Structure 1
Amino acid sequence: MHMFGIRDLRERSGELTKAAESGHLCVFTKRDRPFMVGIPFSETLLKEGVHTNLATHLYEQGILSPAKAARLAQCSLEEFIQKLGHLGITLIDYDTEELDEELSNLG
């Protein structure tokens, strides 16, 4: 997530544009206090709406847990997990060592 002050809207518009094009959320501050969130325009935003789009971004960045993201998306955890699946976003992200360890614990 990128942070920009209100003055940065004018002075750093190129960085803001690059952040949005890269799919990053931006938080805008005024007197060092957050006052606005910039959400990149995407197909997910069009299809799912602002709540789901914001929840998905914050979940992908590790800021929200699946349960908290589901609440933000205004749906049940099960529905949110299904939305993640439809968007191709994995719910469980193990590295190779963690996966091997989990699999060895099963047997």
Structure 2
Amino acid sequence: MQTFSIRDLRERTGDITRAAESGEMAVVAKHGEPIFLTVPFDEFLLQHGVKVDVAIKLFATDVLTLAKAARFAGLPQEAFIEILGSIGIAAVKYDPAELDEELKLLQQ
């Protein structure tokens, strides 16, 4: 997620637009304090609403945990996990080596 200043709104509109077109949210700040969030407008946003769309983007970029993202979206974790699965985002993020180690422990 990129951060832009108020001045950037005038001088870097192309960068802000490209970020939105690539599905990336951005924060706009004034004197270093966030004042608003840009959210890409797409079909998913129309179908699921702003809260779910933002929650998924924040979860996918590791800003929010699964539980916090589900709460932010106003959904039970199970429903949030189903939505993640439907768009190809893994609900559990394990390092392959860590997963192998845990599987070995379970087999003992």
Q: TM-score, normalised by structure 2?
A: 0.92
Where does residue 13 of structure 1 map in the other structure? 13
Report the 3-state secondary structure (helix = DSSP H, G, I; strand = E; otherwise coil) of the residue aligned with 2:63.
coil
2 CA distance for matches of 1:70 and 1:43? 20
Q: Structure 2: where are the runs of 5+ without partners?
A: none
Rounded Cα–Cα distance in structure 1 between residues aligned with 2:99 and 2:31: 45
What letter corresponds to residue 3 of structure 1 in structure 2? T
Q: How does 1:76-95 map to 2 (within 5 A)?
A: 76-95=76-95
**Which whole-Å deviations, capped at 9, do the CAs of 1:8-42 have from their partners, x for residues lacking one?**
11101111112112211100111221110001122
Alpha-carbon separation, structure 2, partners of 1:19 and 1:106: 43
Identity fraction in percent: 48
* Amino acid in the other structure paired with 1:7: R
1:49 matches 2:45: no
- What is the distance in 2 between the residues matched to 1:22 and 1:33? 25
- Superposed, which structure 2 residues align to 1:24-103 within 5 Å? 24-103=24-103
- What is the aligned residue count? 107
Q: Which moved more, 1:20-29 or 1:90-99?
A: 90-99
The whole-number CA distance in structure 1 between the counterparts of 2:68 and 2:97 is: 28
In structure 1, the partner of 2:23 is: 23
Deviations 1:53-84 (A, max 9, x none): 00000000000011111111011112111111
Question: What is the Cα deviation at residue 95 of structure 1?
Answer: 2.8
- Aligned-residue offset at 1:93: 2.2
- Alignment-mate amino acid for residue 42 of structure 1: D
